A and B are shown apart, each in its own frame.
Chain A
Amino acid sequence: MSVLVYTESENGKFKKAALEVVSYAKAVADQMGTTVTAVAINADENDNLGAYGASKVLSVKDGSLDKFNAKKHAAVIEQAAKNEGAKVVVLSSSANSKYLAPLLAVGLDAGYVSNVVEAPSSTSPFTVKRTAFTNKAFANTEINTDVKIVGLSNNSFGIVEAGGSASVEDFSPSIPDSGVNVESVDKATDKVSIADAEVVVSGGRGLKGPENWGMIEELADVLGAATACSKPVSDLGWRPHSEHVGQTGKPVASNLYIAVGISGAIQHLAGINASKVKVVINTDPEAPFFKAADYGVVGDAFEVVPTLIEKLKAFKAQNA
Chain B
Amino acid sequence: MKILVCISHVPDTTSKINFTDGDTKFDTNGVQYVINPNDEFGLTRAMWFKEKQGASVDVVNVGGAETEPTLRKALAIGADTAIRVNTDATDGFSVAKQLAKVVKDGGYDLVIAGRESIDYNGGMVPGMLAAMTDANFVANCIELEVDGTNAKAVREIDGGKETVSTSLPLVVAGQKGIVEESDLRIPNMRGIMMARKKPLNVVEPVDTTSETTTASFEKPAPKGAVKLVDADNIDELVNLLHNEAKVI
The answer to the question of B214 belonging to the interface, with a C-beta cut-off of 8 Å to chain A, is yes
The complex places the Cα of A145 from the Cα of B212 at a distance, in Å, of 8
Q: Is the Cβ of A296 less than 8 Å from the Cβ of B215? A: no
Q: Quick check: A102 and B212 within 8 Å, CB to CB? A: no
Separation of A112 and B125 alpha carbons in the complex (Å): 11
B136 nearest CB neighbor, chain A only: A179
Decide yes or no whether A83 CB sits under 8 A from chain B.
Answer: no
**Is there an interface contact between A184 and B162, defined as CB atoms closer than 8 Å?**
yes
Residues facing A in B12-50 (CB within 8 A) are 13-14, 17, 19, 37-38
Query: Is A111 interfacial (CB 8 A cutoff)?
Result: yes
- Give the number of chain B interface residues (Cβ < 8 Å): 77
Q: Report B-chain residues with C-beta under 8 Å of the C-beta of A299.
A: 231
Interface positions, chain A 243-258, Cβ under 8 Å from B, are 244, 247-249, 255-256
Interface stretch, picked from B60-68, B71-79, B113-121, B190-198, is B113-121
Q: Is the CB of A134 within 8 A of B121?
A: yes
Q: How far is the CA of A306 from the CA of B134 in the complex (A)?
A: 54
Chain B residues closer than 8 Å to A267, beta-carbon distance = 13-14
> What does DSSP make chain B's interface, helix, strand, loop or mixed?
mixed
Determine if B93 is an interface residue (Cβ-Cβ < 8 Å): yes
Give complex CA distance A144, B93 in Å.
Answer: 12
Question: Is the beta-carbon distance between B166 and A181 smaller than 8 angstroms?
Answer: yes
- CB atoms of B93 and A111 under 8 A apart: yes
Which B residues touch A279, using CB under 8 A? 237, 241
Q: Which residue of A lies closest to B134 (CB)?
A: A179
Contact A196 B234 (CB under 8 A): no
Contact with B along A48-66 (1 / 0, CB 8 A): 0000000000000000000
Chain A positions within 8 Å of B148 at CB level: none
Interface residues of A in 125-184 (CB under 8 A from B): 127, 129, 131-145, 178-184
Contact A142 B234 (CB under 8 A): no
Write the B133-160 contact mask toward A (1 if CB under 8 angstroms, else 0). 0001111101000000000100011111
Report Cα–Cα, A217/B120, bound state, in Å: 34
Stretch of A28-36, A37-45, A270-278 lying at the B interface: A270-278
| B52 close to chain A: CB less than 8 A | no
For residue B156, which residues in chain A have a CB less than 8 angstroms away from its CB?
Answer: 95, 242
User: How far is A139 from B25 in the complex, measured between Cα atoms in Å?
Assistant: 10
Cα–Cα distance between A198 and B38 once the two chains are bound (Å): 27
Q: Once A and B bind, how many residue pairs between them come within 8 Å at the CB atom?
A: 257
Interface presence of B206 (CB below 8 A):
no
Partner of B213, one of A144, A187, A308: A144
Q: List A contacts of B118 (CB < 8 A).
A: 133-134, 247-248
Contact residues in A for B161 (Cβ distance below 8 Å) = 185-187, 242
> Given A113-B212, A247-B118, A297-B237 in contact, is the A139-B217 Cβ separation under 8 Å?
yes
Q: Are B231 and A292 in contact (CB under 8 A)?
A: no
Residues of B within 8 A of A312 (CB): 238, 248
Question: Quick check: is A208 within 8 A (CB to CB) of the other chain?
Answer: no
Which listed segment binds A: B1-9, B81-89, B104-112, B218-226? Answer: B218-226
Residues on B with C-beta less than 8 A from A223 are 248
* Residues B127 and A137 in contact, CB atoms below 8 Å apart: no
B11: chain A residues within 8 A (beta carbon): 133
How many Å lie between the Cα of A173 and that of B37 in the bound state?
Answer: 39
- Tell me, rounded to whole Å, the shortest Cβ–Cβ distance linking B27 to chain A: 11
Query: Which residues of A272-301 are within 8 A (CB) of B?
Result: 273, 276-277, 279-280, 290-300
Would you call B228 and A95 a contact (CB within 8 A)?
no
Contact of A248 among B123, B125, B130, B176 (CB under 8 A): B176
In the complex, the answer to whether A196 meets B235 with C-beta atoms within 8 Å is no
Q: CB within 8 A of B237: which of A141, A179, A295, A303?
A: A295
Chain B residues whose CB sits within 8 angstroms of the CB of A71 once the complex forms: 137
Is B201 among interface residues, defined by CB-CB distance under 8 A? no
Q: Are A70 and B139 in contact (CB under 8 A)?
A: yes
Within the assembled complex, what's the spacing in Å between the Cα atoms of A96 and B155?
A: 11
Q: Give A40 to B165 CA distance when docked, in angstroms.
A: 26
B126 at the interface (CB under 8 A from A): yes
Decide yes or no whether B216 CB sits under 8 A from chain A: yes
CA distance A193 to B158 in the complex (A): 6
Chain B residues near A242 (CB-CB < 8 A): 156, 160-161
Which residues in A have their C-beta under 8 angstroms from that of B235?
A: 311
Q: How far is the CA of A127 from the CA of B213 in the complex (A)?
A: 9
- The list of the 9 closest CB pairs from A to B, nearest first, reads A102-B127, A187-B160, A193-B159, A299-B231, A111-B211, A106-B131, A195-B158, A179-B136, A256-B247
Given contacts A144-B211, A256-B248, 5 further A-B contacts (CB under 8 A): A111-B211, A183-B164, A186-B162, A196-B158, A311-B238
Residues of B within 8 A of A (CB): 11, 13-14, 17, 19, 37-38, 91-93, 96, 118-128, 130-132, 136-140, 142, 152, 156-167, 176-177, 181, 209-220, 223-224, 226-231, 234-235, 237-238, 240-242, 245, 247-248
Can you name 18 A-B pairs with beta carbons within 8 Å?
A98-B123, A138-B219, A179-B136, A179-B167, A180-B136, A181-B166, A184-B163, A185-B163, A186-B163, A187-B157, A187-B160, A194-B158, A195-B158, A248-B118, A248-B176, A276-B247, A299-B231, A308-B234
